[in-house]
Amino acid sequence: MSPAETKLEPLRQVTCLGLCRYYKPGKREEPGCGGVEWLDARPALAGRLGELPPAEGDGLFGLAEDDPRLVAVCGSCEFRVDGCDFRDPQVSRSECSPCGGLRALAGLLALGLDLEA
Ligand code: SF4
């Protein structure tokens, strides 16, 4: 594992292993999803991930899917254009889920944190 991947591992334990329907053990996405990249660039925010409540289902901790803060995260994601079913209007919601990175950010917002913290 490269030093960069080692640094990301605790973050991925929460976002990918814990919250992502698309997680596959041993498979690394480079770059990560927009949520993981967003958290990696904001250590103060990532440091609060341990405060997330238990996740239920595959939702966004009560936030709307079109919450502009979450839409902004997806807007920065390299998977959005060609690789994300959740933001693909052609895919029904029952056939897809938000990724773990986005779900983690939604959970932090639901705690009252500012995404730019
Ligand atoms: S939900 Fe899709 S577009 Fe949004 S951050 Fe995750 S992979 Fe990227």
Secondary structure (DSSP) of 84-108: -STT-TTS-GGG----HHHHHHHHH
Residue 117 belongs to a domain: no
Q: Is residue 58 within 8 Å of 103, Cβ to Cβ?
A: yes
Q: Convert the pLDDT of each residue in 74-89 to its tens digit.
A: 999 999 988 899 999 9
CA 57, distance to chain mean position in Å, is: 15
Q: How far does the centroid of ligand 1 lie from the alpha carbon of residue 1, in Å?
A: 24
Nearest CA to ligand 1 atom 6: 99
Q: What is the pLDDT of residue 82?
A: 87
Q: What is the pLDDT of residue 83?
A: 87
Residue 75 belongs to a domain: yes
For residue 100, which atom of ligand 1 is closest to its CA? 6
Q: Convert the pLDDT of each residue in 27-77 to its tens digit.
A: 766 778 899 999 999 999 999 999 999 988 999 999 999 999 999 999 999
Q: How far does the centroid of ligand 1 lie from the alpha carbon of residue 104, in Å?
A: 11
Residue 36 belongs to a domain: yes
Q: How far does the centroid of ligand 1 lie from the alpha carbon of residue 89, in Å?
A: 13
Which of 37, 32, 41 is closest to 83 using CA atoms? 32
Q: What is the pLDDT of residue 38?
A: 92
Residue 70 belongs to a domain: yes
